[in-house]
Amino acid sequence: MFKPSVLIIDDEKAARYGMKKALLKDNYIVHEARDGADALQMIKTLRPALVLLDINMPQPDGMKTLEMINALQNPPLVVIVTAYGSEKIAVEAMKRGAYDYIAKPYEIDELRIIAKNAFERLVLQEENARLRLEIGRLEGMGELIGQSESMKAVFDRIEKVGTTDVTVLIQGESGSGKELVAREIHRRSKRRNEPLIIMNCAAVPETLIESELFGHEKGAFTGAAERRLGKFELANKGTIFLDEIGDMSASTQSKLLRVLQEQKFERLGGSETLTVDTRIISATHRDLEEEIEENRFREDLYYRIKVVSIKLPPLRHRKEDIPLLANHFLHSFSEKHQKRIASITPEAMKHLVSYDWPGNIRQLKNALESAVVLSNNEILDTSDLPEEIKLSGSSALPLKSIDYTLSFRDAKKILIENFERDFIQKKLEECDGNVSRTAEALDMHRQNLQQKIRELRIIKERNCHE
């Protein structure tokens, strides 16, 4: 952090004294120089944040001194002090890099306000530089941004597995950035110059998923007018990323297991056995251990795809990353949509941080783009945010929201349901959505908790899965 220090450069001792007396009232550290040559040496040694420079001085004159100051590395802000009626000279000085000017004779309060504004600008510049530095430091992880301990652990795992060829299972809620992790692992691997092929298993109909994965021969089924290469062939020598692998059917799981074990498969309708050299990265928002218990996912496949697992935390569990992410998206979308929006007000940031983000980073990104597009301001404010985010931070069930026209029994039922929903929701979040661990924490039978989750519609609200 810079020190709030000021250097006054003026050849008149009385003028320096008057300025110094005014600025000491605001607790600035004040230094004095009688000419440009002395001032340059003091700037290099004392590193003042602000310089008050008289334009009418002997050689070197004020304009030449300004030029020499601005030639320094990380120069201070310079305010030109000029005589009444010399505004034209002051404007020329500002074109050459001066921050502002003040004309003699001036009011003491006017000088203090100019100094205050200059220091406020320096604080903002320093904060923006800090954010740019932080974002720049994290660019080593591609589009993944975060400074929380949980994200540092994710970065560490990516660093360790990137150069290997092991299978990786990425777990996390929808919108938490699983594909970005897969891309970063591929980017750091020895296969980086080969293709990364992405397939969302939940987005492909069951009747087509095997054709998408393994390809088909001409005539293999109705509509197969020509041979088509599958994702595994396209990913040969590279990486295949199977997103939402937990949604894959039992029959496709069996065929995928063979590819993992033998690196071999046949196209649909074909007899030729094809061999591939492909690294497999998978991702899911489901708890696969629970899926195994319910006989919806093969245990042998599970252990094949998760030699290493990476768990992405939901955004609500790393709220300290929200200001960094929000500023990153703000600058990105301001540039994309040609808007001049420099920052986010503290009040708007408070709403962003307090909101729960059920859609995670994807939702935050969309919210910031919407706000940038619709805003008419140079600073993003609460009024620019989507409605649900403006309401964040309020109580889930304020007493004034109770409908007192209801009977005591009905009102009590609603209160209890809301309490149960909030309490179970909170415990599920603490247990990372794992129903078995949540049931244990609540001292409930797992089946009873599953029933409660369905009754209270927590599955739909929190994307939790049995």
In order, the DSSP letters of 315-374 are: GGG-GGGHHHHHHHHHHHHHHHTT----EE-HHHHHHHHHS--TTHHHHHHHHHHHHHHH
pLDDT at position 388? 84
**According to CATH, what is the number of the domain 316-390?**
1.10.8.60
Any residues with CB less than 8 A from the CB of 17 and at least 6 apart, and which?
A: none
CB 171 within 8 A of CB 313: no
Going by C-alpha positions, the residue among 77, 167, 87 that lies closest to residue 123 is: 77
> In angstroms, rounded to a whole number, what is the distance separating the alpha carbons of residues 61 and 70?
14
Residue 160's H or E segment, with its range, is: helix 149-162
CB 35 within 8 A of CB 17: no
> In angstroms, rounded to a whole number, what is the distance separating the alpha carbons of residues 323 and 364?
11
Tokens linked to 367: 């919210």
Distance, C-alpha 307 to centroid of its chain: 28
pLDDT at position 169? 97
For the chain, the distance separating the N- and C-terminal CA atoms, rounded to the nearest angstrom, is 51
- CATH class for the region spanning 399-462: mainly alpha
Amino acid type, 72: L
- Listed as own residue / partner, the contacts of 104-111 with beta carbons closer than 8 Å and 24 or more positions apart are 104/15, 108/22, 111/19, 111/22, 111/23
Going by C-alpha positions, the residue among 123, 113, 83, 111 that lies closest to residue 20 is: 111
Q: Parse the chain into domains and list their residue ranges.
A: 5-135, 164-312, 316-390, 399-462
3-state per-residue secondary structure call for 113-127: HHHHHHHHHHHHHHH
CB atoms within 10 A of CB 349: 17
Tokens linked to 374: 């619709």
Residue 37's H or E segment, with its range, is: helix 36-46
Handedness of CA 119, 121, 124, 125 (dihedral sign): negative
Going by C-alpha positions, the residue among 108, 119, 114 that lies closest to residue 4 is: 119
CB atoms within 10 A of CB 334: 18
> In angstroms, rounded to a whole number, what is the distance separating the alpha carbons of residues 4 and 31?
11
Say whether domain 5-135 belongs to CATH 3.30.300.30. Answer: no
CB atoms within 10 A of CB 404: 7
- Strands (DSSP E) along 323-448, which ranges? 343-344, 379-380
CB atoms within 10 A of CB 339: 17
**Is 0.85 surpassed by the pTM of this model?**
no
pLDDT at position 460? 38
Burial (Cβ within 10 Å: 0-12, 13-18, ≥19) of residue 394: exposed
Query: How many helices (H) and strands (E) would you count in the chain?
Result: 20, 14
CATH topology of domain 164-312: Rossmann fold (3.40.50)
pLDDT at position 294? 92
CB 29 within 8 A of CB 38: no
> In angstroms, rounded to a whole number, what is the distance separating the alpha carbons of residues 118 and 357?
37
Residue ranges of the chain with pLDDT lower than 70?
Answer: 1-3, 84-85, 128-142, 392-406, 459-466
Whether 164-312 and 5-135 are alike in CATH topology: the answer is yes
Strand pairing of 196-200 and 279-284?
A: unpaired
Strand pairing of 343-344 and 273-275?
A: unpaired
Q: What are residue 279's DSSP bridge partners?
A: 239
Residue with tokens 């420079």: 53
> In angstroms, rounded to a whole number, what is the distance separating the alpha carbons of residues 342 and 83?
35
**Backbone φ and ψ of 167, nearest 5°:** -75, 145
